[in-house]
């Protein structure tokens, strides 16, 4: 869930719950050894949230800080049951196959400028910006 978030600023707010959270699935599997028990609960959350992701230069890449969106998500929460003081933690998210595709994220690219010699100054009038090469971002 955090892959690709380096050098990005994430602004997120939870506004309201549209439906009460609902436990969809619960299980208590043994992990590796017989006495190592984990409790896992899958919870369905339908809420209204605001998400905005900015690149390292502060430009908006995804979402909006003003426009709320309805979000339906399935979260898997787990707890180590052997530890009496263990806390519930987020294990992961389940994305159903029928869920709509995510909005594409606009990538930030650097357009190379002219190579300057020491002592030279850049004059914008004498330089044409080259057109970027066509690159396939998504496969």
Tokens matching residue 1: 């869930």
What integer pLDDT is reported at residue 99 of this predicted model? 87
* Greatest Cα pair distance in the chain: 74
**DSSP state string for 26-42:** EE--B-SSTT-BEEEEE
More reliable by pLDDT, 88 or 119: 88
Residue 139 pLDDT > 80: no
Q: Is 60 helix (H, G, I), strand (E, B) or coil?
A: strand
> Of the candidates 44, 43, 33, 41, which has an alpha carbon nearest to the alpha carbon of residue 78?
41
Q: With 0.75 as the threshold, say if the pTM is over it.
A: no
Q: Which fold has domain 9-126?
A: Nuclear Transport Factor 2; Chain: A, (3.10.450)
What distance in Å separates the CA atoms of residue 75 and residue 88, rounded to the nearest whole number?
A: 12
Residue appearing with tokens 């066509």: 134
Asked if residue 113 lies in contact with residue 121, where contact means CB atoms within 8 angstroms, the answer is no
Tokens matching residue 132: 């970027």
More reliable by pLDDT, 131 or 91: 91
What distance in Å separates the CA atoms of residue 128 and residue 122, rounded to the nearest whole number?
A: 12
The predicted-structure confidence for 98-132, as pLDDT tens digits, reads as follows: 988 887 777 767 777 777 777 777 665 466 666 76
Delimit the domains of the chain by residue range: 9-126
Q: What is the DSSP letter of 117?
A: P
> Of the candidates 75, 71, 73, 72, which has an alpha carbon nearest to the alpha carbon of residue 41?
75
Out of 14-18, 33-37, 71-75, 77-81, least confident range: 33-37
Task: Give the containing element (helix H, strand E) for 77.
Answer: strand 69-80
The predicted-structure confidence for 19-76, as pLDDT tens digits, reads as follows: 999 999 999 877 777 778 889 999 999 999 999 999 888 889 888 999 999 999 999 9
């Amino acid at each position: 869930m955090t892959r690709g978030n380096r050098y990005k600023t994430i602004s997120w707010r939870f506004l309201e719950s549209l439906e009460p959270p609902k436990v969809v699935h619960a299980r208590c599997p043994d992990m590796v050894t017989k006495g190592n028990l984990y409790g896992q609960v899958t919870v369905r959350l339908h809420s209204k949230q605001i998400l905005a992701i900015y690149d390292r230069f502060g430009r908006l890449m995804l979402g909006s800080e003003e426009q709320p969106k309805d979000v339906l998500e399935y979260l898997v929460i787990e707890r180590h049951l052997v530890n009496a003081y263990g806390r519930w933690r987020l294990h992961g998210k389940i994305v159903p196959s029928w869920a709509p595709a995510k909005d594409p994220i606009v990538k930030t690219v650097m357009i190379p400028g002219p190579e300057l010699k020491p002592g030279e100054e850049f004059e914008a009038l004498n330089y044409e910006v080259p057109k970027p090469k066509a690159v396939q971002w998504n496969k």
